[in-house]
Structure 1
Amino acid sequence: MNVVMFSPHFPKNFQNFCLRLKAHGANVFGIADVSSELLEPSLQQSFTEYFQVSDLHNYDEILRICGYITYKYGKIDRIESHNEYWLEQDADLRTDFNVPGIKADDIAYYKKKSLMKELFRKAKVPHAKGKVVETIEDAQAFIEEVDYPVVVKPDIGVGAANTYRLDNSEQLVQFFATKDSREYIMEEFIEGGICSFDGLVDQDGNLVFYTGHQYSQGIMETVNEDRHVSYYSYRDLPEDLKTLGLRLLKSFKVRERFFHFEFFRTPKSKLLVLEVNMRPPGGLTMDMFNYACDIDLYDVWTRMLTNQLDGLDYERKYHCCYIGRKFKHSYRYSHENILEHYGSKIAYHEPINSIFGAALGDYGYLVRSESLEELQEVVNYIQDTTDDH
């Protein structure tokens, strides 16, 4: 099997996909914009060939490399990055080389929030009202329908980048006076918590693995208000979350992919879908899958891809929680205090890439426990500050 892995070194934990592919006998071809000498030795050794490009956005250059791979090694069987930023380019390459997976004709429904809402409606899944607003008049007409506050965000965007809550007409005018040229969607503001339905489906769209997570708050609040973030995995999923998640999987015809669906849960416990993402959830969430269940989803995905997977037995043994710290704060307890006090509960910890810092913090801990009460105790301990505010 010939697998092209695009930007295989980023993020760091996604390097495991290449290592597992190599271990299961696949030819792995890496394409990235960094010298091979700067890659982890284990990642270098996973490649049949590695290609450094001058610019990952240079489609012609990448097209020629894929042509060369096809000429030398035969048909490319899969092209993947597992990265939201490259989904569109991945789809274009699959289309040009007739490789299974999401193609160029389908990608808009997985990238544009406005088009997602069309499939939400068809699936009869509750969701926030929204409308693409090109002018302030468009926005004012929408606000007359839903009232303030509203949220504006790029129709194609990742995380909470350039996402704002507008509470009044002055903020609306300011937004249109300063916004960039991208297309923006405006949505009614939904008060509630954020939870997710996450997992992996096989080539026929059948669930291989699924779980869910509860977030301390939305990424918009985390970024714009510079808050700490934590989120934990469920051991028992709420039944309504599973029901709506499965409905979305069917509506979006998800095949052979990880997925990450985000929902609001209102104070009255109503679920509304926020958006769908056809890739593994970000940060260290893949590792949270593994630590919560004592499995290896990097390996499971590889065995599925190479037709070496005969079902998956797993149990959600623990809640696994991500706990982020931001270095701008003064913390009551040191890193050494944390390891001494809760070392038996900490499954993993590492510095977080600065690209994710606003959302996830500068340093992250993965903590697992059978008890939610114990997890919250650890969250409080790790994020306890001596800041005046």
Structure 2
Amino acid sequence: MNIVFVEPHFPRNQREFTRALAQQGAHVIGIGETPWDYLDDELKGWMVHYEQVGSVTDLHQMTDAVRRVQGMVWVDRLESTIESHQMVAAQVREACGIPGTSVRTTWLCRDKPSMKEALRAAGVRTATTIGADNAEQVWEFARQVGYPLVLKPRDSAGAAGTSRVDDDTGMAAALEAMGGYGSIAVEEFIEGHEGFYDTIAVEGQTALDFASHYFPGVLEAMRTRWISPQFVATNRIDSGGLYDEIREMGAVVNAALGIGTSATHMEWFHGPRGLVFSEIGCRPPGVGCWDLYCAANDMDVYAAWAEAIVHGRVSQHPSRSHAAGIIALRPDRDGQVTGYSGLEDIENRYGRWIIDAHIPGPGTPTQPVEAGFMANAWIRMKHPDYDHLRGMLDEVGRTVHLHAG
């Protein structure tokens, strides 16, 4: 099978998808922005051909590159795993007659108001939302629905560009800050615990799944410096209750949006209104989630994805032997890293449960709090007991401090 894979070099874990496809027997043709000579020998060895383009989000460049490849070999699939690459990849598929996720499905998985309209029609509980093209529409929605509300670009990923507003003053400030966006998704704020549900689907059916929890919710975590936020992949997903509800919702969402053979990443809330859908991406999660799933489940999730793409099946089964999580360590101010306190204590107490860590050295420029879980320092851990892991991660947050100046 000949598979075009978009951007095999950056970010770094993209190479894992390339590796897995090659190990499943695919002939991988990479298309990326990095010059061939800059790629390392291992990555080169997983590909049979490589095309460099100026931008993998430029439709004309990507279409031309894929047609050049089609002039040499039959292309069976074109795969992309980064949110910002999804729409162009879908458009190239349709222009070049390549099977895979359609433009319609990609649009529904990126445009938040359209996504939720389609899912409400399928009976999925979602927040009330609109897509607004001007400030007047936003103000009218606020008058009808009331506060608090959430504003974000219609096609953003995760919490990028997202803000919560609680009154007219906050709304005015948020609209001014978002002035550069052509269209805004506005929705009611849903109270409740926040988590996500990740799958690998084969022909629309869930073949592999994982559930994770945020502590605290994403908006609070990405706006509050003193918090050391976590997300934790549970090993209790087979225990029924809420997880059965999540699985049922995921199946309905996949069917309603036309998701076929693909990784998915679905965000959800659970609170006074029960389980409420937030949004979904027709792609793998970011922030190293699959690395946590690999470490916790004695399996190679990248290989499972590649097997689904190449062979239309998933033969691996997660052990659910451990829960696994990440905790982000924020600098106490913006500037440059000057040092850490508490690291040795944590290593001595919990070293056997640490999967890996990223501890930038003194002099490293800090990144803004809103840049995400892996923007600065972080530690990833696992433990057979989910509650015990939560306690360890909390202790890391209380003990380890990243100092900057």
- TM-score of the aligned structures, taking structure 2 as reference length: 0.87
Residue 363 of structure 2 aligns with which residue?
A: none
Distance 1:181 1:242, change over 3 A: closer
Tell me which of 281, 284, 288 is aligned to 2:292.
Answer: 288
Are residue 271 (structure 1) and residue 275 (structure 2) matched?
A: yes
Distance 1:242 1:69, change over 3 A: same
Residue 23 of structure 2 aligns with which residue?
A: 23
Map 1:7-156 → 2, pairs under 5 A? 7-72=7-72, 74-156=73-155
Q: 1:19–1:46: 8 Å Cα contact kept in structure 2?
A: yes
Distance 2:38 2:187 in 1: 43
The residue matched to 1:295 in structure 2 has which SS? Answer: coil
The percent identity for this pair of structures is 23
Q: Deviations over 1:239-288 (max 9, x none)?
A: 2222222221222222111111111111x371111111111111110111
Structure 2 gaps, min length 5: 238-242, 334-338, 361-365
Map 1:308-319 → 2, pairs under 5 A? 309=313, 311-319=315-323
The residue matched to 2:320 in structure 1 has which SS? Answer: coil
Cα deviation, residue 355, structure 1: 9.8
Distance 1:120 1:269 in 2: 17
Residue 240 of structure 2 aligns with which residue?
A: none
- Aligned residue type for 2:159: A
The residue matched to 2:51 in structure 1 has which SS? Answer: strand
Distance 2:197 2:350 in 1: 28
The residue matched to 1:368 in structure 2 has which SS? Answer: strand
Distance 2:124 2:59 in 1: 37
Residue 182 of structure 1 aligns with which residue?
A: 182
Are residue 374 (structure 1) and residue 388 (structure 2) matched?
A: yes
Residue 207 of structure 1 aligns with which residue?
A: 206
Distance 1:61 1:136 in 2: 35
Residue 350 of structure 2 aligns with which residue?
A: 342
Distance 1:331 1:123 in 2: 50
- Aligned residue type for 1:371: D
- TM-score of the aligned structures, taking structure 1 as reference length: 0.91
Q: Deviations over 1:196-254 (max 9, x none)?
A: 1111011x222210111111123222222344221111222322222222221222222
Residue 360 of structure 1 aligns with which residue?
A: 373
Distance 1:228 1:99 in 2: 44
Residue 336 of structure 2 aligns with which residue?
A: none
Distance 1:64 1:253, change over 3 A: closer
Q: 1:3–1:27: 8 Å Cα contact kept in structure 2?
A: yes
The residue matched to 2:105 in structure 1 has which SS? Answer: coil
Cα deviation, residue 351, structure 1: 6.1
Are residue 256 (structure 1) and residue 268 (structure 2) matched?
A: no
Distance 1:265 1:23, change over 3 A: same
Distance 1:331 1:220, change over 3 A: same
- Aligned residue type for 1:358: A
Distance 2:182 2:259 in 1: 27
The residue matched to 1:12 in structure 2 has which SS? Answer: coil
Distance 1:314 1:337 in 2: 32
The worse-fitting range, judged by mean Cα deviation, of 146-155 and 240-249 is 240-249
Are residue 333 (structure 1) and residue 326 (structure 2) matched?
A: no
The residue matched to 2:176 in structure 1 has which SS? Answer: helix
Cα deviation, residue 95, structure 1: 0.7
Distance 1:286 1:36, change over 3 A: same
- Aligned residue type for 2:326: Y
Q: How many residues align?
A: 384
- Aligned residue type for 1:265: H
Q: 1:208–1:312: 8 Å Cα contact kept in structure 2?
A: no
Residue 159 of structure 1 aligns with which residue?
A: 158
- Aligned residue type for 1:94: R
The worse-fitting range, judged by mean Cα deviation, of 75-84 and 18-27 is 18-27
Q: Deviations over 1:38-95 (max 9, x none)?
A: 33432122111122222333333322221221112x2111111211110001101111
The residue matched to 1:119 in structure 2 has which SS? Answer: helix
The worse-fitting range, judged by mean Cα deviation, of 21-30 and 173-182 is 173-182
Q: 2:105–2:259: 8 Å Cα contact kept in structure 1?
A: no
Distance 1:230 1:260 in 2: 17
Cα deviation, residue 373, structure 1: 3.0
